[in-house]
Structure 1
Amino acid sequence: MSDITRRLGWRHLRSAPTVHVRHHRRGRLVHDGPGLSFWFRALTAALSEVPVDDRELAMTFHARTSDFQDVSVQATVTYRISDPATAAARLDFSVDPDTGAWRGAPLEQISTLLTETAQQHALDVLARTPLSAALVDGVAAVRERIGGGLGAEPRLSDTGIEVVAVRVIALRPEPEVERALRTPAREQIQQEADRATYERRAVAVERERAIAENELASRIELARREERLVDQKGTNARREAEEGAAADAVRAEAEAARRVRLAKAEATAAREVGEARAGAQAAWLRVHSEADPATLHALAVTRLAENLPRVDSITLSPDVLTGLLARLGGTGTGTGTGTEGA
């Protein structure tokens, strides 16, 4: 919609570049083109605004297939008004000179025309197509048929409307039918999922069995190695005991031999020492037997003197001295008497 402002009984119109404006004054075309800006008087002006940009028309309609199943079609048609003069002549695009709003509803007329024409061609295609084929290939078939039908529609070209593109978004049956159609696929998918689950469980069980077998084999091998270890320890202990016993026997034999040799040496030494002592004693006796008594007495006194303790000083009292002298006198008398008698 263009902007219209008032100035002292005049009106100023400023349109957008996507709007084609036609200005008639007293039945004569004064301004014609998109994006115009001009002054006009409301009492003598007739204005028309025709949009020339691309417009999207969403449509939804129901159809019936050859097997009497209802389907809904969702499509979008992109169109534009390629001949604004023809469109303004066929449809009411006039605007109010004061507000710039359309007096009628030309775009709704175009939407109704496009929707009914597209629906007619879609119904023609789906009425000869079963539901299963329509759900598989119906979108492409309906799109091609609608595009071709709208392009060949003479009323559109006579109105100055050009169809740019046709898109069919969806083609769906009724909810109950759709659920029924989905059931086999869902069941097959569920069966595939169950089979995958069973296979996964089987693989897991097989792996667990392999793991259990490996653990059992490991335990058996460990027990076998422990048995060999015990046998080896027993063999080593027995060999160690045997070696220890043999070593003890060798040590005992060596100790016995050493003691025998030591005893023999001690006996030999004792015998030799005894023989030497006996020889020395015999020689000593023989020497003493050949010596005179006075010599023997002197040797005895000397030996006695050698064995007496050391005396540093002697205190003699008169009593002791008297007794000692008496003994020495008696001893000398006896000795002399004996000597003389001899």
Structure 2
Amino acid sequence: MATIKHYPARRRFLGTPTDYVVHLTKGHVRHEGVGQAFWFKPTTSVLSEVPATDQELPVLFHATTRDHQDVTVQTNVTFRFADPVIVAQRLDFGIFPPRPEGTGAAAGRQQVATIIGQLAQSRAVDHVATLPLTEALEVGVGQVRQVLTDALAADPRLTSTGIEVLGVHVLAVRPEADVEKALQTPVRERVQAEADRATYERRALAVERERTISENELASRIELARRREDLVAQEGTNARREAEEAAAAALIEARAAAERRDVEATARAQETRVVGEAEAAKDAAAMAVYADVDRGTLLALALRDAAGTLPKVDNLTITPDLLTGALAAFAQAAGGAR
């Protein structure tokens, strides 16, 4: 907002970089532009301040479709004042002289909003009236935007007023609340059906996975049992083989022991036989030698042999009878020798 300083018989205007000022004196332009600073006479000067920046105007209105359904169209129009001098002459943007108290500020912005809003609403209403509700909701945003852009850009009133439309944005085309809810119901049902189907598929997949896991566990248990059976059978085979091997070894050992005993018995028998035969031969030879020896000699030999086996004799008593018999035998032996 520009600043006007008061001095005696003079005023000092200080502009801003965002507002375009137009200074008229007796109907002629004395100063114009943004960021102006000048002196002027209050008695002969009129000042208007037009925005130099881009302006945004939201427009909201109702329209009726071809099938008699009410829709709400929400748009936003971007515009600028291309010729501020013409705008100052056609619209009320005056800032000096001051307005009387109670009359309010300049109505230029409201006038622009009314002009653009009415133009946009009339063109949009005409176009929406040619569309059924479903088509208006599906493609209405793009079509209304194109219609408003073309219409506002070529509108002679805006051009003659010095207003340039830079762009139109259609934010929404919405039906009444109950109609919108009714239209959303099939979509919601379809979405819910898709969600239910996804849930069922997820549950079915979970059941299938659980079944697969159970089958795998059962197969693992069966395989484990089969391997345990094979292990038991193998252990039994091994134990039986070990027993057979042990029995065979014991049999071989018993046979070896029996054969060893037979050999030892045979050897002992042979030794006994040889010894007996030798002793028999010895005895036979001795008997053959003793066959021609007389009785006394045999008795002497017997006494000699018996003497080696008799116990120790400390005292010997010889009786007359024994001595008589011995002497008689000795004399008889001596007589026989002669």
* Range of TM-score over shorter length: 0.7 to 0.9
| Aligned AA (2:135) | A
Partner of residue 196, structure 2? 194
Tell me, in whole angstroms, the C-alpha distance in 2 between the residues paired with 1:26 and 1:278: 189
Q: 1:183 pairs with 160, 182, 185, which one?
A: 185
Distance 1:338 1:73, change over 3 A: same
Of residues 162-171 and 276-285 in structure 1, the stretch that sits farther from structure 2 once superposed is 276-285
Q: Structure 1 residue 54 and structure 2 residue 54: aligned?
A: yes
| Aligned AA (1:31) | H
Q: Structure 1 residue 36 and structure 2 residue 36: aligned?
A: yes
Distance 1:298 1:113, change over 3 A: same
What CA deviation, in whole Å up to 9, does each residue of 1:301-337 have, x standing for no partner?
Answer: 8999xx99xxxxxxxxxxxxxxx9xx79x77999988
Provide structure 1 residue ranges, at least 5 long, that are not aligned to the other structure: 309-323
Distance 1:98 1:296, change over 3 A: farther
Partner of residue 120, structure 1? 122
Partner of residue 238, structure 1? 240
Displacement, 1:285?
9.1
Q: 1:288·1:296 contact (CA, 8 Å) conserved in 2? A: no
| Aligned AA (2:267) | A
Tell me, in whole angstroms, the C-alpha distance in 1 between the residues paired with 2:69 and 2:177: 11
Alignment of 1:199-218 (within 5 A): 199-218=201-220
Q: Structure 1 residue 260 and structure 2 residue 290: aligned?
A: no
TM-score, normalization by structure 2: 0.78
Displacement, 1:175?
1.4
What CA deviation, in whole Å up to 9, does each residue of 1:93-149 have, x standing for no partner?
Answer: 1114789xx941211111111111111111111122211111011112211222222
Distance 1:12 1:297, change over 3 A: farther
Tell me, in whole angstroms, the C-alpha distance in 2 between the residues paired with 1:288 and 1:7: 196
CA RMSD of aligned residues (A): 3.7
Partner of residue 107, structure 1? 109
Displacement, 1:77?
0.3
What CA deviation, in whole Å up to 9, does each residue of 1:271-312 have, x standing for no partner?
Answer: 3345556666777899999879889989988999xx99xxxx
Tell me, in whole angstroms, the C-alpha distance in 1 between the residues paired with 2:264 and 2:305: 40
| Aligned AA (1:53) | T
Partner of residue 88, structure 1? 88
Of residues 131-140 and 266-275 in structure 1, the stretch that sits farther from structure 2 once superposed is 266-275
Tell me, in whole angstroms, the C-alpha distance in 1 between the residues paired with 2:298 and 2:236: 85
Alignment of 1:261-300 (within 5 A): 261-276=263-278
SS of the residue 2:191 aligns to: helix
Q: 1:61·1:119 contact (CA, 8 Å) conserved in 2? A: yes
SS of the residue 1:95 aligns to: strand
Tell me, in whole angstroms, the C-alpha distance in 1 between the residues paired with 2:2 and 2:283: 169
Provide structure 2 residue ranges, at least 5 long, that are not aligned to the other structure: 331-338
SS of the residue 2:168 aligns to: strand
